[in-house]
Amino acid sequence: MLEVLLRRVNWVGVRRGMTGSRVWMALGIIAAGFRVLRWVSRSEEDILYRTALRPGDRFEILTKERGS
């Protein structure tokens, strides 16, 4: 919900700011800054693969050094 509100204020602020409204431009820039801060500070890790395991299933995780 907050992300939707920030995106909307960002879009409207920049759009109206381009027509001359300094207040809307400032609100758009502030909303964009909050969106960037939320994106940078997220704690989720990217999910590369997901599957359901059933009884008896096995999986193996292999790693290798970077640059190999």
Q: What is the pLDDT of residues 2-56, one digit of tens each?
A: 889 899 999 999 899 999 999 999 999 999 999 999 888 887 777 778 889 999 9
Q: How confident is the model at residue 66 (pLDDT cuts 50, 70, 90)?
A: confident
The reported pLDDT for the residue numbered 33 is 93
The reported pTM is: 0.57
C-alpha–C-alpha distance, residues 21 and 28, integer Å = 11
Q: How far is CA 6 from CA 29, 38, 60, in A?
A: 10, 11, 42
Contact criterion met (CB below 8 Å) for 9 and 31: yes
Does residue 63 surpass a pLDDT of 80? yes
Burial of 67 (0-12, 13-18, 19+ CB in 10 A): exposed
Residue 63 sits at φ, ψ, to 5 deg, of -125, 155
Q: How confident is the model at residue 68 (pLDDT cuts 50, 70, 90)?
A: low
